[in-house]
Amino acid sequence: MKIAEIENWGEETRRIKNLFERLGCDLVGVAPAKHFPEMDFFENWLDRGFAGEMNYLQRHREKSVNPRKILPSVQTVLVCGQLYETPLPHETAEHNSHNGWISRYAWGEDYHDRLLKILRTGVEWLNQKFDDLEYRFYVDTGPTRDRIWARYAGLGWFGKNTCFINQKVGSYFFLGEIFLNLPLQTDKPAAERCGTCTRCLESCPTKALVEPGVLDARKCISYLTIELKTAIPENLRDAIGTNIFGCDICQDVCPWNRRAPQTREDAYLPREGFYHPDLGDFYKWVRDEFPGRFKKSPLKRTKQRGLLRNVAVAMGNSGQKEFKSALAEMAESDDPLVREHAQWGLEKLKNRQSKKQRVKPTKSGKTSS
């Protein structure tokens, strides 16, 4: 069938949306392929240097804000969302300092593969139906601004924490989009509903949210533990706490996530040991079982040396002297990045123990130094 032969695109759009919902998408919307003001904001954000070392954002800058650079015949963008929330407690709950934190999106299998599979299956169906179909699809795998298309597809709004929020499901979901030469019926953008709430701004340990809706990625714990490939700035290491891959705090405190529904995908449930892992065990896994244990996991993005760097900082911040031997071992590493952070962790533990020894309780219950 030719695209021009379709008479009722409203009905056809509903049929296509239903298809992607049946395939496993929890949210589906359609945006017009236009230039939107948020694209200018993105370019300004890059100019302010907030992207840090994420140079790939600069390389495809023009393409990422011009849909016709991606697909010259594009008319609409189909946007799909898939939930990854689980019933396990959030990062802001009380946890043992022996344990590290992995961002909940990375507990299970790599979402790129799971959501791409759904989009690919849907596109195959469309390709069989339309003889003259043209398309491109991405799941955080190409030069496109997911949140902008999602907003104009009616799926939600940009939160003050810069995460994308949907009124019904919160912000724990992945996004993917398909650029199509189909004149689908488009949706209306959702209203912004953060109101006067500033919990995310107040809760960020590194103050990376410099103003509502503006993130300085160079200070963000997720950037520091995932995207940054060099040394973590010393002035930010304390605030990282025991995070070893990403951070969920600004989402966990968001009121829209209080009753966030749970994923239907078993693949996003935590692998054994990935939920709030013991730092000692996790260190051994990274040291001895990489890449086997982390196969098809988002954690592979940071690579072995990056995870060891992060573990060294987390162990230093834990205050647990039992991690001294592991840090001492890393301090002898051939990798200067791992060695430097392990030495910092050892010094941090040493200073904490010295403070504890200086402050001793007296018989009256008071402390003396």
Q: Long-range contacts of range 290-297, CB-CB < 8 Å, 24 or more positions apart?
A: 296/109, 296/110, 296/113, 297/106, 297/108, 297/109, 297/110, 297/271
What residues contact residue 227 under an 8 Å CB cut-off, 6+ apart? 52, 53, 54, 217
CA gap 218, 297 in Å, rounded: 24
Condensed to tens digits (0 to 9), the pLDDT of residues 109-165 reads 999 999 999 999 999 999 999 999 999 999 998 889 999 999 999 999 999 999 999
210 CB burial (10 A radius; 0-12, 13-18, 19+): middle
Query: What is the chain's mean pLDDT, rounded?
Result: 94
Q: What is the model's pTM? A: 0.93
Return the pLDDT at 364. 56
106 within 8 A of 275, measured Cβ to Cβ: no
Residue 360 confidence (pLDDT) above 60:
no
Condensed to tens digits (0 to 9), the pLDDT of residues 328-348 reads 999 999 999 999 999 999 999
Residue 249 confidence (pLDDT) above 70:
yes
The β-bridge partners of 165 are 157
Sign of CA dihedral 312, 220, 201, 140: negative
Q: How confident is the model at residue 352 (pLDDT cuts 50, 70, 90)?
A: confident
247 within 8 A of 104, measured Cβ to Cβ: no
Q: How confident is the model at residue 91 (pLDDT cuts 50, 70, 90)?
A: confident
CA gap 158, 340 in Å, rounded: 38
**Positions of E strands within 84-184:** 101-102, 135-138, 157-158, 164-165, 173-180
Mean per-residue pLDDT, 276-290: 97
Residue 369 confidence (pLDDT) above 60:
no
Condensed to tens digits (0 to 9), the pLDDT of residues 189-233 reads 999 999 999 999 999 999 999 999 999 999 999 999 999 999 999
Count how many Cα atoms sit within 13 Å of the Cα of residue 185 in the half-sphere of its side chain: 12
Residue 355 confidence (pLDDT) above 80:
no
Active-site positions read 140
CA gap 330, 19 in Å, rounded: 51
> Who wins on pLDDT, 71 or 63?
71
Share of the chain above pLDDT 70, in %: 96
Question: How many other CB atoms are found less than 10 A from the CB of residue 230?
Answer: 9
Residue 241 confidence (pLDDT) above 70:
yes
CA gap 158, 167 in Å, rounded: 11
- Helices assigned H by DSSP within 232-278: 234-240, 249-252
Sign of CA dihedral 94, 99, 101, 105: negative
Return the pLDDT at 142. 86
Q: How long, in residues, is the chain?
A: 369
- Rounded to 5 degrees, what are φ and ψ at 314? -65, -40
Return the pLDDT at 359. 56
- The answer to which of 60-74, 153-167, 242-256 has the lowest mean pLDDT is 60-74
